Amino acid sequence: MPIKDKKRGKGGKFKKKKKVTSISNEDIEFLVAKTNYDAVEIAEWFTGFIEDNPDGTLSKEKMMDMYASVLPGKKAKVFVDQIFVKFDTDGSGSIDFKEFMMATNMSEAGSPEEKLRWAFKMYDKDGSGGIDVDEMVEIVGNLYELEGQSKETAAEKAIMSFKLLDVNGDGELNEDEFVEGCMRDNTLAELLNAGM
């Protein structure tokens, strides 16, 4: 049986990434509906995004570099990690333009309540619509540690915060409990928003 010649350079890990040059009308319509941007602004964002990311994706490392210039190192890492947990749904280590715009829109929320609603969505790692005590300890504990608290003290404060916010005592915070509780506790609200 003769050996067939295999063509090289067709796929596999050495496949050259395709350059993205345009955004579909469907994507524009989706982003207009889901963000606070209009079609013209989305097109402008797309142009800049593609200039910096010709293959149409933004790596976690590149995003870290961007945010490290405006946030202290550890806060930038916590922030970028949260973005990628929420938006890198395929675990590829990069996000596409739509995911980038959703994250950008969320991070530019205006009022304290909008920022807290955004924070809730970021911290609801499993997308269940609720934050349990373990998620609260991981997130809020990390933020307290960044503020100089020991790991143990940070965990204790996170658990205390959770208990204060869990008004109905069901062991999980829904979005309203989280937002309303944080609005009553300025220290916690400032801590959570400082991580953004």
84-111, pLDDT tens digit by residue?
887 887 788 899 999 888 888 876 766 7
Winning range, highest mean pLDDT, from 25-39, 94-108, 149-163, 173-187 = 25-39
Q: What percent of the chain clears pLDDT 70, i.e. is strictly above it?
A: 84
Higher pLDDT, 170 or 139: 170
Q: Which residues of 116-134 are buried (b: 16+ CB within 10 A; e: fewer)?
A: bbbbbebbbeeeeebbbbe
Beta bridge partners of 96: 57
Q: What percent of the chain clears pLDDT 90, i.e. is strictly above it?
A: 23
The C-alpha atoms of residue 170 and residue 163 are separated, in whole angstroms, by 10
Question: pLDDT digits over 41-71, tens only?
Answer: 999 999 999 999 999 999 999 988 887 877 6
* Model confidence at 147: pLDDT above 80: no
Whole-number pLDDT of residue 65: 87
191 neighbors 133 (Cβ within 8 angstroms): no
Q: Which of 106, 66, 113, 108 minimizes the C-alpha distance to 83?
A: 106
pLDDT interval class at 12 (50, 70, 90): very low
Residues contacting residue 171 through CB under 8 Å, at least 6 positions apart: 132, 133
Helix or strand run (H / E) with residue 172: strand 172-174
Backbone angles phi, psi at 171, to 5 degrees: 85, 10
Sequence letter at residue 140: V
Residue 194: is it exposed, middle or buried by C-beta count within 10 angstroms (0-12/13-18/19+)? Answer: middle
